[in-house]
Amino acid sequence: MLETSANGPFVTGKVRLEHAVGMHARPAVKLTKLAKRFQAQISIRASETADWINAKSVAKVMALRAPRHSMIEIKAHGEDAEAAVAALVDLVATDFPDVGP
């Protein structure tokens, strides 16, 4: 269901979106907030033919409108790229759990 690989200067990951309503507002906010914790440049797309978008832009992530069962691709480069991809893949794979206070 998910894979992470080092591909040139990019770390990439893939994960299937299981959230019942797809990438709507709350999942988009959680994904963006998590992405912002990393220094790496992070891009995501919801299909192989789509343009990559900046995972740290909440407006763009919300506008993905990725439906349930979409394959979300994540790529990152930068010092903490590996940790960033792992964390984002985990967030999607665990269905965007509530965290923190």
Partner 1 sequence: MSDMVGIVIVSHSNDIAKGTADMVRQMVGGEVKVAFCGGDPDGGLGTNVGGIMDAINDAWSPKGVAILVDLGGAETNSEMAVEMLEPERRGLVVVCNAPIVEGAVMAATEAAGGSSLEQVRAVAEELSAG
Give the closest residue to 34 by CA, choosing from 100, 101, 7.
100
- Looking at residues 6 to 35 of the shown chain, list those that interact with partner 1 (rule: CB under 8 A): 25-26, 29, 32-33
Select from 6, 21, 50, 59 the one that contacts partner 1 (CB under 8 A).
Answer: 59
* CB of 71 or CB of 78, closer to partner 1: 78
Decide if 69 is catalytic: no
Give the closest residue to 19 by CA, choosing from 72, 56, 60.
72
Give the closest residue to 13 by CA, choosing from 95, 92, 97.
92
Give the closest residue to 23 by CA, choosing from 62, 57, 56, 59.
62
Work out whether 58 is an interface residue with partner 1 (CB under 8 A): yes
DSSP code at position 51: P
CB of 58 to partner 1, least distance (A): 4
Work out whether 96 is an interface residue with partner 1 (CB under 8 A): no
Work out whether 36 is an interface residue with partner 1 (CB under 8 A): yes
The catalytic site residues sit at 24
